[in-house]
Amino acid sequence: MPLRDDDPTSVGEYVLEDRLGSGGMGIVYRARSASGRLVALKLVHAQYCDDDEFRSRFRQEIAAARRVSGAFTTPVVDADPEAKRPWMATLYVPGPTLFDLVGAEGPLSVARIRGLALGLVEALRDIHRAGVVHRDLKPANVLMAEDGPRVIDFGISRAGDNLPLTVTGRVIGTPPFMSPEQLRSPRDVTAASDVFSLGSLLVYAASGHSPFKAESPYLAGYQVMFEAPKLHAVPEPLRRIAERCLEKDPTARPGLVELHRLFLELPPSAGTGHVTGEQAPEPAPGTLDRPTDTGPTDTGPTDTGPTDTGPTDTGPTDTGPTDAGRAYDDTANDSAPHGGGTPSNHPADKRPADGPRVKRRAAKRQLILVGLGAALTVGALSAGLLGYAGFEDSSTASDAGPTVRYRAVSLPEGWRPWRTALRADSGLPAKYIPINYDQSGCRTDGTDLYCAGAGFVVAKVDAATGKTGWRYGTLPQTARPIGERDGLVYVYQEADNTRRNLVALDTGTGKQRWTRPISASEAVLLYDGGILTLTPDHAEMVAYNTAGEELWRVSEPTGDNCVPSVLGDDPYALCWQGDEFLDTRPFRLVRLDPADGTRQNLTPMPKKALALGAVGGRPLFLRAETTEEVYQAGYERPYNAFLRVDPDTGKVTRIPLKRALRGAATLVDGVVYFVRTNGSVTAVSATSGKSLWERTTDMENLSAPVVSKARGEIYFANRFGRLLALDSATGAELWRTDALDDPGDTATETPPQVLLVDDAIVATAGTMAFSLNPDDPTTRPTTPAVGD
């Protein structure tokens, strides 16, 4: 459709040519670069430009879209989330959406659905492998290009390590294409939710309507959660596949590998999608059956990867308020994908001949909804579906303010609350976007901090004042410093994506003392007596002393692959046969003599076993309950036992857990803390496997914990600078803080970190570092610290 009078003529370096459509988040244009390249440019609505929460959400969408690449998705070409009106440009793909195609031509044939399904399965595979769950797979978000479908619009997707940006009680989405768990408990959604949405989408393609046809979003959501899908208009054998995708239980749905096989078995040439049996198809869909671009349809956080079929953690889950978003939009005429295509205006659908009967059924269901005032309806539907009407739940745990236990506190000399922006070098390109956001943060020598990560260069920061002493390098690093020892801090230096060096810097001056080439993909580790590295060709492990002198070098046996590991303070190697990655097969634990690197094969370890560290000098691993690939098992993989290894004999002692536990696991002083994406924390004894305590919080996106033994407290940070303190003995919540006003541009993508300098808490969120007194956590600095 042509541009309107109030449309801009250009955005960034792109000239706008046509308006493709409008949704809740923004307007999508066809645009052209100076070189003639066509893009689909999404420009955020003006009313959202001053909304920090919305900008964070848009940054998250850009980050999710950048992570995904594949034949059946649309790549991000350019973006500026910091512009006055944020925008994102993706490759322009000509073609209608599946919504428009079915509206214009009617249901697709089984043969066409076969090609569509295979393309969507491949798209979801790429999305899930990138650590993202789409969460809004619907006909309006699938472009029907000549060479296959394209999945677009990552506006409410979430990476496996991302969490909701707010907790304000609103849940939004497109109910006929949402999964039951997405409505019931958005925080616990995995990529199996995308499989459910895929089933609904294919039913729409085969019959012209959603399997959950209703007159309102409330009733559509009720049907999704409690009623059987309407599949009589779907021909066999597609119907059997759709039935399995639409199982209410996420663990009962097929994975992508099985779906690929099932769709391949469909006949490549078959009849139309119309049913030839006794039952006629249902009437054409009404407006509520039509998928729409409902804008920022964030339904809360999700795990990544389809759900595994093994037992899951039945511990505490967060049933608190859900993520904010926009109300349900039942208009489809002005919706368009951001990946390209041309919207079509459908004539108004006629009401079915049995309209009055449908109304009576709806009335009965409404009575059921009212009568179900039990936990599920009140807890799930009111927390979820009421969000479509724009209701908010303003009751959050932070409303009551922090409760602080006052104890003697030890702070660095001259300490005061501070915050410091960790910036890139001035010579960095203005639009530089870090590629890797893993493990940003700081290390400490007890007096100073040494920080590096996404968006900022290596910097020395005074732990008492936050003032910057020196900076090193011109490009942001992809990891925090390795550690500090003997007056040197060890950092990574990356000239490009293929070369990486270990660099030793003088802690006093920031000057480079020595450098060594290392593997571009494996971490450097400090052990008692040296620094353990892997050579760039991955053929040898090399140990250096603090002066950079080689202590020893060990070659990998023929046919082996090995990566270095430090458990406790001792050097080890994890070795396996073949060219695959470590997490794809069983491996061997190999002990390395710290003096000369002599190898001692200790024991084979099962596939997916996770190294935690050592307890009493004995290496400790977690045994995975399922060995499915990450995108099939869910990013919060279930673990059912500890494996403790005798470092002398290799004997393995299995310590079973009472039930399978999920979450990021951290070993601290003989206790393993499982931290789930929904904010729940479980503490387990590493020696007995006994659960010590469990605590459910509504504070998602928590960092790994840091424990103050002297104060008996455990601290966490989240991406937006909120801090949480729990009693380390009982798990009781002691206090929490509000989010930072300015966590930085990469807050939604950068894992947070918290550490202690004496009793002072130091945390990083985005490109901001800050420090608080645990006895007075609400007092924060009013202005950032400054350095040289």
Give every CB contact of residue 648 below 8 A, 6+ residues apart in sequence: none
As a whole number of Å, the end-to-end CA separation of the chain is 54
What is the C-alpha separation between 279 and 233, in angstroms, rounded?
8
What is the C-alpha separation between 422 and 435, in angstroms, rounded?
17
Task: Take residue 188 and report the two structure tokens written for it.
Answer: 């616990």
The pairing of beta strand 610-615 with beta strand 618-624 = antiparallel
Q: Is 460 annotated as a binding residue?
A: no
> Sign of torsion, CA 139 145 148 152?
negative
Which of these, 49, 43, 90, lies nearest to 66 by C-alpha position? 90
R_g of the chain, CA atoms, integer Å: 27
Give every CB contact of residue 622 below 8 A, 6+ residues apart in sequence: 609, 610, 612, 639, 641, 642, 643, 665, 672
What is the C-alpha separation between 654 and 622, in angstroms, rounded?
10
Q: How many helices (H) and strands (E) in the chain?
A: 12, 42
Whether 128 and 354 have beta carbons less than 8 Å apart is answered as: no
Which of these, 63, 76, 290, lies nearest to 157 by C-alpha position? 63
Q: What DSSP character marks residue 693? A: E
Whether 697 and 733 have beta carbons less than 8 Å apart is answered as: yes
Long-range (24+ apart) CB contacts under 8 A made by 395-398 are 395/321, 396/167, 396/168, 396/320, 396/321, 396/698, 397/320, 397/697, 397/698, 397/699, 397/733, 397/736, 398/722, 398/736, 398/738
Which of these, 747, 718, 753, lies nearest to 82 by C-alpha position? 747
What is the C-alpha separation between 184 and 182, in angstroms, rounded?
6
Task: Take residue 367 and report the two structure tokens written for it.
Answer: 């009575």
Q: Give the Cβ contact number of residue 192 at 10 Å.
A: 28
What is the C-alpha separation between 568 and 616, in angstroms, rounded?
8
**CA-to-CA separations, 646 to 452, 591, 620, 621, in angstroms, rounded:** 36, 11, 10, 12
What is the C-alpha separation between 69 and 130, in angstroms, rounded?
8
Q: Reduced to 3 states, what is the DSSP secondary structure of residue 187? A: helix
Task: Take residue 350 and report the two structure tokens written for it.
Answer: 């006629």
What is the C-alpha separation between 535 and 551, in angstroms, rounded?
14
Task: Take residue 430 and report the two structure tokens written for it.
Answer: 């203005």
Task: Take residue 644 and report the two structure tokens written for it.
Answer: 């403790």
Beta bridge partners of 564: 573
Task: Take residue 88 and report the two structure tokens written for it.
Answer: 């994102």
The pairing of beta strand 158-159 with beta strand 148-151 = unpaired
Residues belonging to the chain: 788
**CA-to-CA separations, 520 to 374, 428, 492, 527, in angstroms, rounded:** 55, 22, 10, 20
Burial of 378 (0-12, 13-18, 19+ CB in 10 A): exposed
Beta bridge partners of 526: 531
Task: Take residue 250 and report the two structure tokens written for it.
Answer: 């996420």
Whether 571 and 622 have beta carbons less than 8 Å apart is answered as: no
Give every CB contact of residue 373 below 8 A, 6+ residues apart in sequence: none
φ and ψ of 656, to 5 deg = -70, 145
Whether 307 and 133 have beta carbons less than 8 Å apart is answered as: no
Which residue numbers belong to the known binding site?
Answer: 42
Which residue numbers belong to the known binding site for ATP?
Answer: 42
